[in-house]
Amino acid sequence: MGSRGDAQPMAVLAAELMARGHEVVLATSSDLAWIGPAFGVPTVDMEMSAREFLESEQGRRWLAAGDVASYVRWLIDHKHQIADQLHASLLDLVEGADVLVSGTATELEGVVIAESRGLRYVAVHHAPMRRNAAFPHLLVSTDVFSPEENLATYDEVERNSWPLFAPFVNDLRAKLGLASTSETSSRRLARAGALEVQAYSPFVVPELAEWDVRRPLTGFLTPSESQRSVLHQSVDDGLPEWIAAGEAPVYFGFGSMPVLDPQAALTLISKVSSSLGVRALVGAGWSEVAAGASDDGQLRVVAELDHEAVLPLCRAAVHHGGAGTTASSLRAGLPTVVCSIFADQPFWGAQLGRLGVGTTLPFTQLTELTLLDALEPVLTEGFRDRAAEIGARLRAERAAVQTADAIERAS
């Protein structure tokens, strides 16, 4: 459940497990239920719209203003509203299953349902969320403290967040005949020795390369070449020719950015690109940026593109810093500017800075001047060389294989 960055990696994993002879069912939101069948994976439409939620005008305004607290309260309220439908659907899905695999959006429910049905539970995380000494909790800070201070932030987050989640968890436990608990989901999983796959690369987060046998870093779950061919059958006419007609462009990907004024966003990009003497390729994603688009040879807007095919033809990337898009720009060997909004995006922006392959700024501080200051350095040779080195390592990874191996060992 969630955006494409949540659903597509799970479809990649499901296809790998199926290829090994496992019986697999993928469940996702209505907007993204087409991805599983494209890979030949049996898929259940959860009859909920991720896009409708993510593109809510009020939600986008909160994010654009940096009011994450209001956004999170709204998210929790939304989960309460859909709880009965979601629980019923999930309970139907796990009938006869041996293993339940879920991302963070349904981890609270997944842990309880797995316990009630005696199933193995496997968590899939796209960024470090559990207690470790290398980083503070990603919701607390992007600065790295002492090991003791880093560890303390996880206790702080659990103390503050559990009162919000406890009613939700214990209501479901009561429905399923389980006793109420004061133990957080992460602690229950730790006590059970559950596998928590870290679906990102040790080359990008080397600090956690040897983290824990329960938390292997298996790499970013990226579609194979054959999977990409079915995901991107509709290609923007003339895009390869446009790219080849001039210097390699800078890619600007909006993804799930809360762009409230599409024309102003394009104007900003146009001005920054002109100042730096670069061309701009804009991927609109689910935003409405394309509404005011024009192609003058220096700037081109596309609704959707194959990141793995197009980004290697670019010279740098600017995007929101979601794990999937970050993986794509790094795999392409591109130095990257992250305009982070919330969740794990600030972490990825800071980590690219620590690796010397990118810069970062909060989306709320995005202006012509701040973007210019962030983008100009990454166009230099040092950033390009370091990004190319990491890209080569990522392209050699076999994340789906390593993730499926970990699940088989744990099951």
Residues 383 and 406 in one domain: no
Residues 9 and 127 in one domain: yes
Residues 169 and 243 in one domain: no
Residues 281 and 328 in one domain: yes
Q: What is the pLDDT, as a whole number, of residue 79?
A: 79
Q: What is the pLDDT, as a whole number, of residue 400?
A: 98
Residues 185 and 248 in one domain: no
Residues 15 and 129 in one domain: yes
Q: What is the pLDDT, as a whole number, of residue 342?
A: 85
pLDDT digits (tens, 9 = 90+) for 166-222: 998 999 999 999 999 999 999 999 999 999 999 999 999 999 999 999 999 999 999
Residues 300 and 384 in one domain: yes
pTM: 0.92
Residues 343 and 204 in one domain: no
In a domain, 230, yes or no: no
Q: What is the pLDDT, as a whole number, of residue 407?
A: 97
Q: Which of 394, 53, 48 is nearest to 218 (CA)?
A: 394
In a domain, 12, yes or no: yes
In a domain, 229, yes or no: no
pLDDT bucket at 273, cuts 50 / 70 / 90:
very high
pLDDT digits (tens, 9 = 90+) for 213-249: 999 999 999 999 899 888 876 656 788 899 999 999 9
Residues 404 and 376 in one domain: no
Q: What is the pLDDT, as a whole number, of residue 83?
A: 85
Q: Which CATH number goes with the domain that contains 358?
A: 3.40.50.2000
Q: Which residues form the domain of 169?
A: 4-224+397-410
Q: What is the pLDDT, as a whole number, of residue 1?
A: 79
Question: How many domains are contained in the chain?
Answer: 2
Q: What is the pLDDT, as a whole number, of residue 48?
A: 84
Q: In this predicted model, which residue has the larger pLDDT, 303 or 36? A: 36
pLDDT digits (tens, 9 = 90+) for 303-362: 778 888 899 999 999 999 999 999 999 999 999 999 998 889 999 999 999 999 999 999
pLDDT digits (tens, 9 = 90+) for 79-132: 788 888 889 999 999 999 999 999 998 999 999 999 999 999 999 999 999 999
